Every structure is written in C-alpha cells, then in structure tokens.
C-alpha cells in the first residue's frame, strides 16, 4: 500500500502498546499513543487517524465511551475502530459493536491475524473515502451540467429574441411609411368626398331648372338609378370609416413592433413604481373587475430610474393577460419587493396556466392562443422589449389548471442594466 496509514493506539498499559508497535513495524504505518480515553479524543482531533486500536477498560473514560464519541463526530465517519479487550463474552462484544466499533478482538490475539485485520480495515476506509469523493464529484458535475444547460437555454432564448427583434424592427420600418401615407390619404379623401357631395347636392337642386324631357336630364336620371346614388353616398362614408379603422389597427401593430424592438427612445426618470401600478390598475379596472379580485401585497420600494410610461404598459399587458387567463372568477395578486439594487413586481393569477410547450414561445411576436381576432400576440413581446431596454428580465412560472406568475426584475439605476447582454440586441435598426 503506497499511502501511509495512521494508527492511534489507545491503551493505558505500555506493554499493550509495545506489542502493537511491534506488529505495526512497517514504514507504511504512522503511530500515535493515547494512555486513556480523554487523551484518545484529543488525539483524534490532532492526529485524525485512519484506524483506532481501542482498549476496552481504561481510567477516566472507557473504550465504549470513546467509541461512541468517535461515531458521533461526522469528521470521523470513515475512521475504523477496532476494540481490544480481554472480555470475550458475547454480551461484551454486543456492547462494543453497539457503541460503533467495526471489530471486536479478544486478547490475547494472534499477531498475524491482527496485522491482516488492520490492513483490510485501512483498505476499506480508503475505498469508502474515495467512493464518497467520487459521488460528490458526480453530484457536482451533474449540477454543473444542469447550470450549463440552463445558461444555454437562456442564451438561445436571448439569441432567438434578438433575431426576432431585428426582423420586427425591419418589418415595422418597412410598413411605417406606406401606412403613414395611406392614413393621411384616407383623411384627405374623406374631406374631398364631403366636398364632392356638397357639389352633388348643388347639382341636384339645379335639376328642377332643366326640362325632364331633355336628353341630358334623361341620361342623368338613368345614371342615378343605375348607380344607386343614395346607396353610394352612404356606402362611401362607411367604407372610408372602415378603412380608417383598419389603418389605425395596422398603426398600433407597427407601434407594438417598434416597442418590442425598442426603436423609439423615451425619457428616463426616477419614478414611483407603486404609483405606476396603481394608475395602470385604474385604467384596466373595467377589464378585470368582473373576472378577478385584485390583491395588493406591496413591499418597500425605492424610486426606480426607468421609463415609467413604458413600464406601465408592461403592467397593463400582464394584468390584462392575467384577467383573460381566468375563465370564471379568480384572484390576481400583485406583489412587489426589492433585493439589493433590484426591484421586482410580480403579477400572479389563478387562471388556466400555460402549457409546457407554449412556455418557450410566449415572448415571440404574434404568438397567441386566443381565437382569431381576439389577441394579436404582441402584449408579451412588447413587454419583453421594454424590460430588456431597462436591463431587466421577466421570469415566468406556471402550472396548467392552477395559474401563472410573471415576475419583472428592474435595476434601480438605469446604468446598472447597461451591461445586460440583450440590451443592445436590436442596435442598428432605424
């Protein structure tokens, strides 16, 4: 055996020690002696032996007591204790094993057998120790792999959101111009139509002055009938209004895409997050009051350097989503708190929860599980963009059938978030 074996011999009788010293006369052993139980425990601490050869009957503290103390100390979990005694009765042996001894040898013993026992026990101790070290290493590796996978998922998610962000910013930029002129053209067309109708009214009044039998008048009358002029008048107004509404919807979507890719820059100011939450609650109250009871569990928050209007929009999106997730009636709990230089706002609902396969897609633009026409699927992507600009993050926990919890983390100082990996993810757009 290459490793040295430390043996503590606990015996009040020098002769006993000498015998054992003779048996263990080999370079691989390092020996220490203790002359009674109390001294043995002191030596345990300073010498940390691999094997203890422990005499049973001793002054001050007997072998059984010493053995119990050793077993009670987790530092000596693998230390092997061999009790030596002239008491060979089985009841005494049982006491020895009961106290935690690994073996019980009756004196006088056979030297070769004793030497073999010590070798076997020291080997056993080393095997047990390395087994524990291996298991510990395996556990550490497993937790490291876990951490790495978690980080990889986060990075992939951030990467995916960065590409989607660029795409969204590009699309928003392309649509922005045409939508702008369609919108202003519709406005102009509406004004022109009013003027044309005024003109038509004037012409109609002039009809009485022309003979109904004249060729021109006959043409006018037949065209009026064929074109259903009265219907046209009404339908043109309806069509214009509908087009205006449609363009407004497209404008909203473009604005949402811009918010998601944070193309527009707003003001940073020190703001009271609780005020923001309360004013947002007032706005969305109509939408949620029939669905949920709102519980506030506000903690102490410092002022936060943020774009409050934008952050309010995030609160609104989360609150409306929470209300939509509740089918009959439920509870929405709003909690706030702060940890170090970060504040958090949590919005929890008792709604239907989010399916595991949807969790990775929540923040993608246009991801929605709502029926066609009811949700655009932009609420969470916009929220993601806004919180990302703030150098914060949104954590989601959800259980199907129980509810969901969205927690927003915001740095207290805007500059804190500057190092955030994702913050400049859409740099270069617009």
Q: Which residues pair with 390 in a beta bridge?
A: none
Cβ pair 256, 376 in contact under 8 A: yes
- Residue 56's nearest CA partner among 45, 68, 46 is 68
Q: Does 378 bind ligand ATP (CB under 6 A)?
A: yes
Q: Does 375 bind ligand ATP (CB under 6 A)?
A: yes
- CA triple 95-100-105, angle to 5 deg: 65
Q: Does 51 bind ligand ATP (CB under 6 A)?
A: no
- Residue 81's nearest CA partner among 5, 3, 9 is 9
Q: 1-37 as b/e, with b when 16 or more CB fall inside 10 Å?
A: eeeebbbbbbbbeeebbebbeebbeeeebebbbbbbb
| Chain positions contacting Mg ion, by CB under 5 A | 321, 379
DSSP annotation of 417: G
Q: Could you tell me the smallest distance in angstroms from the CB atom of residue 272 to Mg ion?
A: 25
C-alpha 346: how far from its chain's center?
12
Q: Which residues pair with 84 in a beta bridge?
A: 55, 105
Q: Does 354 bind ligand ATP (CB under 6 A)?
A: yes
Q: Does 380 bind ligand ATP (CB under 6 A)?
A: yes
Q: Could you tell me the smallest distance in angstroms from the CB atom of residue 190 to ligand ATP?
A: 28
- Residue 415's nearest CA partner among 386, 395, 394, 391 is 391
C-beta of 401 vs 419, nearer to ligand ATP: 401
> What is the arrangement of strands in the sheet containing 393-399, beginning at the earlier edge strand?
292-297, 330-339, 342-349, 403-411, 393-399
C-beta of 86 vs 248, nearer to ligand ATP: 248
Q: Does 319 bind ligand ATP (CB under 6 A)?
A: no
The one among 19, 35, 322, 332 contacting ligand ATP by CB under 6 A: 322
Q: Does 312 bind ligand ATP (CB under 6 A)?
A: no
Q: Could you tell me the smallest distance in angstroms from the CB atom of residue 329 to ligand ATP?
A: 15
C-beta of 53 vs 323, nearer to Mg ion: 323
Q: Does 321 bind ligand ATP (CB under 6 A)?
A: yes
Cβ pair 315, 273 in contact under 8 A: no
C-beta of 368 vs 389, nearer to ligand ATP: 368
As a whole number of angstroms, the distance between CA 142 and CA 148 comes to 10
DSSP 130-185: HHHHHHHHHHHHHHHHHHHHHHHHHHHHHHHHHHHHHHHHHHHHHHHHHHHHHHHH
Q: Does 370 bind ligand ATP (CB under 6 A)?
A: yes
Q: Could you tell me the smallest distance in angstroms from the CB atom of residue 297 to ligand ATP?
A: 17
- Residue 360 backbone dihedrals phi, psi, to 5 degrees: -75, -10
The option from ligand ATP, Mg ion, none interacting with 105 (CB < 5 to 8 A, set by class) reads none
Q: Could you tell me the smallest distance in angstroms from the CB atom of residue 177 to ligand ATP?
A: 23
The option from Mg ion, ligand ATP, none interacting with 325 (CB < 5 to 8 A, set by class) reads ligand ATP
Q: Does 255 bind ligand ATP (CB under 6 A)?
A: no
C-beta of 321 vs 350, nearer to Mg ion: 321
- Residue 264's nearest CA partner among 297, 209, 307 is 307
Q: Which residues pair with 349 in a beta bridge?
A: 332, 404
As a whole number of angstroms, the distance between CA 80 and CA 308 comes to 67
The option from ligand ATP, Mg ion, none interacting with 368 (CB < 5 to 8 A, set by class) reads ligand ATP
The option from Mg ion, ligand ATP, none interacting with 50 (CB < 5 to 8 A, set by class) reads none
C-beta of 312 vs 321, nearer to ligand ATP: 321
Q: Could you tell me the smallest distance in angstroms from the CB atom of residue 319 to ligand ATP?
A: 9
Q: Could you tell me the smallest distance in angstroms from the CB atom of residue 325 to ligand ATP?
A: 3
Would you state the structure tokens that stand for residue 106, as one six-digit string?
């009756």
C-beta of 122 vs 336, nearer to ligand ATP: 336
How many chain residues are in contact with ligand ATP, going by CB under 6 A? 22
C-beta of 20 vs 334, nearer to Mg ion: 334
C-beta of 79 vs 388, nearer to ligand ATP: 388
Q: Where on the chain is the footprint of ligand ATP (CB under 6 A)?
A: 317, 321-322, 325, 349, 351-354, 362, 367-370, 375-381, 404
């Amino acid at each position: 055996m290459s490793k040295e074996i430390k043996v503590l011999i606990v015996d009040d009788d020098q002769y006993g020690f000498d015998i054992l010293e003779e048996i263990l006369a080999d370079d691989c052993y390092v020996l220490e002696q203790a002359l009674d139980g109390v001294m043995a425990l002191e030596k345990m601490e300073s010498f940390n032996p691999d094997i203890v050869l422990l005499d049973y009957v001793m002054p001050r503290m007997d072998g059984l007591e010493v053995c119990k103390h050793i077993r009670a100390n987790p530092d000596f979990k693998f230390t092997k204790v061999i009790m030596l005694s002239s008491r060979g009765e089985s009841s005494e042996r049982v006491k020895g094993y009961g106290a935690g001894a690994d073996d019980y040898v009756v004196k006088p013993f056979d030297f070769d057998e004793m030497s073999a026992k010590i070798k076997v026990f020291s080997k056993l101790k080393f095997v047990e120790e390395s087994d524990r070290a291996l298991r510990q290493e395996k556990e550490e590796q497993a937790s490291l792999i876990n951490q790495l996978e978690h980080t990889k998922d986060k990075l992939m998610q951030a990467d995916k959101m960065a590409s989607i962000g660029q795409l969204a910013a590009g699309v928003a930029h392309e649509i922005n111009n045409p939508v702008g002129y369609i919108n202003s053209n519709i406005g102009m067309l509406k004004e022109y139509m009013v003027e044309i109708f005024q003109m038509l009214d004037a012409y109609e009044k002039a009809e009485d002055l022309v003979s109904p039998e004249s060729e021109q008048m006959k043409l006018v009358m037949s065209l009026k009938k064929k074109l259903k002029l009265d219907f046209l008048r009404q339908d043109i107004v309806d069509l214009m209004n509908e087009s205006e509404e449609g363009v407004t919807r497209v404008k909203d979507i473009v604005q949402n895409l811009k918010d998601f890719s944070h193309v527009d820059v707003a003001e940073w100011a020190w703001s009271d997050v609780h005020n923001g939450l309360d004013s947002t609650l007032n706005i969305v109250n109509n939408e949620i009051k029939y669905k949920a009871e709102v519980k506030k569990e506000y903690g102490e928050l410092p002022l936060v350097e943020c774009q409050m209007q934008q952050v309010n929009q995030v609160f609104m999106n989360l609150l409306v989503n929470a209300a939509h997730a509740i089918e009959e009636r439920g509870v929405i709990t709003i909690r706030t708190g702060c940890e170090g230089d970060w504040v958090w706002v949590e919005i929890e609902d008792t709604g239907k929860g989010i399916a595991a396969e949807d969790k990775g897609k929540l923040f993608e633009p246009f991801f929605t599980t709502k029926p066609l026409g009811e949700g655009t699927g932009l609420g969470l992507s916009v929220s993601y963009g806004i919180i990302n600009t703030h150098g914060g993050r949104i954590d989601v926990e959800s259980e199907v059938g129980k509810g969901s919890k969205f927690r927003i983390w915001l740095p207290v100082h805007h500059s804190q978030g500057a190092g955030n990996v994702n913050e400049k993810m859409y740099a270069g757009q617009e």
